[in-house]
Amino acid sequence: MTAAAAEPAPIDAAPLAETPGASLPPGQAEWCLGVGGARLRAALFPAKSPIGSVVLSPGRTEHIEKYVEVINELVGRGYTVLCHDWRGQGLSARLLSDPLRGHADGFGDFVADYSKMLNVFEARLPKPWIAVAHSMGGCLCLMALARGEARVSAAILSAPMLSINAAKPMHGFAEPVTWLVAHLGWRAVYALGNAYDPAAVTFEDDKLTHDRARHDRTRAQIVATPELQLGGVTWGWVSSATRAIGWLSRTPLLARIEIPITVLAAGADLLVDNVGVRAVTARLPRGRYVEIPGAYHEILMETDDIRAVFWREFDDLAAPFRAKRPRAKAPAKGTPRPRK
């Protein structure tokens, strides 16, 4: 007797916030459960005739909707796209009662969330998979790969948080110093008075992109949907970041990552220290380091000429992994060809 097929799990739909002039392609946002039952938001945007899938992981403070342009471009290239909000930001569960505080108690749960999310969507993600990750997302994605996530065929990391400019004055003591401050009762306190109103940040103050229109698009999103806003970081987050960066700078597990990884660094990055980024990339067996002169931190939100470098590198990286489309069969001999 054949067992009855299991009923598909119902989709727990989540909202997507859109603003005029920034429409996402057809897709579905869903709630899924992370570590400890945290409710996390992810969205799937299927391509009509997919040649593979892209798992798109934003940076700190960012949300799915911010990547509307990138998602449309990827779907237009033939990729099904899975984009998500990390815990503590976007519409995913916040970690403190004050939702504006960017917080973490270690990045282990973030990395575990990533693998759990891939488990949920795996059957709906055509192979091969390419990971695209920015800043904090790049750090977390690389941690997942080092810890054995083997379903990804290639990765491209945009200005990955593999070293922080603000930690440079500590000369190698960033991990113990920030851990000590966080564990002396300051873990949920804004680091160095880093509180700010994200909706009030101007284009001139931001220094993350040279493109005013793309900056204004993101600002319009968080003004229209205040739940997407996230402010400064706590000492708990800073401690988590320095420990993750320290781990990646030392772990021998990087040598086990066999997939090709392109690391794009922003030449005028004010947040990430490219010396550290270059050093980590050099330890990847198939790592490629590309620095874009003059680019600010948010490469994918930058001007067209800077973004063009990203797309050139993405296409080069993805070329060997594109799923081959079946060719039309040649007509049999003697078969009349259709008239043109």
Give 86-130 pLDDT, tens digit per residue. Answer: 999 999 999 999 999 999 999 999 999 999 999 999 999 999 999
Residues spanned by the domain of 54: 25-321
- Specify the CATH number for the domain of residue 170: 3.40.50.1820
Name the one residue in this structure whose structure tokens are 């050099």.
282
Q: Is the pTM of this model over 0.95?
A: no
> What phi-psi label fits residue 337: left (phi over 0), alpha (psi between -120 and 50 degrees) or beta?
beta
Give 26-82 pLDDT, tens digit per residue. Answer: 999 999 999 999 999 999 999 999 999 999 999 999 999 999 999 999 999 999 999
Residue 338 has pLDDT above 80, yes or no: no
Nearest to 149 by CA among 110, 104, 112: 112
- Classify residue 182 by its DSSP letter: I
**171 located within any domain:** yes
**91 located within any domain:** yes
Can you list the positions of beta strands (E) in the chain?
Answer: 13-14, 28-33, 39-45, 52-57, 79-84, 129-134, 152-158, 261-266, 287-292
Q: Kindly provide the b/e burial profile for residues 288-312, where b requires at least 16 CB atoms within 10 angstroms of the residue's own CB.
A: ebeebeebbbbbbbbbeebbebbee
**265 located within any domain:** yes
**19 located within any domain:** no
Going 276 to 135 to 77 to 305, the CA torsion angle's sign is negative
CA 5/CA 340 separation, integer angstroms? 48
**338 located within any domain:** no
**237 located within any domain:** yes
CB atoms within 10 A of CB 274: 20
**284 located within any domain:** yes
How many structural domains compose the chain? 1
Of residues 86 and 192, the one with the higher pLDDT is 86
From the CA atom positions of the chain, what is the Rg in Å? 21
**335 located within any domain:** no
Give 263-303 pLDDT, tens digit per residue. Answer: 999 999 999 999 999 999 999 999 999 999 999 999 999 99
CA 113/CA 84 separation, integer angstroms? 10
